[in-house]
């Protein structure tokens, strides 16, 4: 069973790779995904040990580094907290709608790979991230794309 590769989006003004770096054990919960397609990947497909790119969206968009899934999908309890911004009144404790994972920092890139730089790279044309209108906050990454990007970062 080989590890799989993913990309996780975050808005750095909400939670950045530096926040992850400064977290205890460099590990954080990754909650708040409220999209069914992304939920399905978190709940059904991600495994402990899979690697993820940490992608910063909106402000200086680009891949900032690498993380590792250290806990597989489990119910996102923030959905049941009425005071929390991720509260979802429609989901029930008996049948959780939303799931979260725990992610540990593996490395922060010396300099992030910007979206515009990635667009220029031969071999990445088919990447979900680069598709016009791509909004998924959790995306699968092909092994060849993963390897190419890791090479570019070094």
Partner DNA sequence: GCCAACGTTGGC
- Decide if residue 36 touches DNA (CB under 7 A): yes
137 binds DNA (CB under 7 A): yes
- In whole angstroms, give the CA distance from residue 77 to residue 92: 10
Toward DNA, which CB reaches closer, 15 or 26?
15
Among 23, 27, 29, 35, binds DNA (CB under 7 A): 35
**Nearest partner of 102 among 4, 24, 35, 14, judged by Cα:** 24
Judged by CB under 7 A, does residue 143 bind DNA?
Answer: no
28 binds DNA, rule: CB under 7 A: no
Q: Note whether 18 binds DNA by CB under 7 A.
A: no
Kindly tell me which residue out of 22, 47, 58, 144 binds DNA, with binding defined by CB under 7 A: 58
Distances (CA, A) of 140 to 45, 101, 111, 144: 10, 15, 23, 12
Question: Is residue 116 a contact point for DNA (CB under 7 A)?
Answer: yes
Q: Six-digit token pair at 68?
A: 């590792």
- Round to whole Å and give the CA distance between 61 and 129: 11
Binding range to DNA, per CB under 7 A, among 43-51, 66-74, 101-109, 135-143: 135-143
State yes or no: residue 9 binds DNA (CB under 7 A).
yes
By CB under 7 A, residue 134 contacts DNA: yes
- The structure tokens 């890791």 sit at 150
**Strands across the sheet with 27-30, in order?**
27-30, 99-114, 62-75, 51-56, 5-10, 138-140
Which positions lie near DNA, rule CB under 7 A?
9, 11, 35-37, 57-58, 61, 90, 115-116, 119, 131-137
């Amino acid at each position: 069973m080989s590890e799989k590769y993913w990309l996780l989006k975050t808005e750095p003004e909400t939670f950045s790779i530096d926040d992850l770096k400064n977290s205890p054990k460099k590990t954080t919960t990754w909650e708040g995904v409220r999209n069914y397609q992304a939920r399905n990947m978190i709940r059904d497909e991600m495994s402990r040990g899979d690697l993820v790119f940490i992608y910063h969206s909106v402000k200086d968009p680009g891949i900032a580094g690498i993380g590792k899934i250290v806990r597989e999908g489990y119910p996102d309890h923030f959905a049941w907290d009425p005071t929390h911004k991720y509260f979802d009144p429609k989901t029930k404790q008996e049948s959780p709608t939303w799931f979260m994972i725990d992610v540990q920092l593996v490395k922060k890139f010396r300099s992030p790979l910007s979206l515009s730089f990635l667009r220029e790279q031969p071999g990445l044309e088919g990447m979900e991230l680069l598709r016009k209108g791509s909004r998924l906050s959790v995306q699968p990454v092909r092994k060849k794309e993963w390897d190419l990007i890791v090479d570019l970062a070094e």
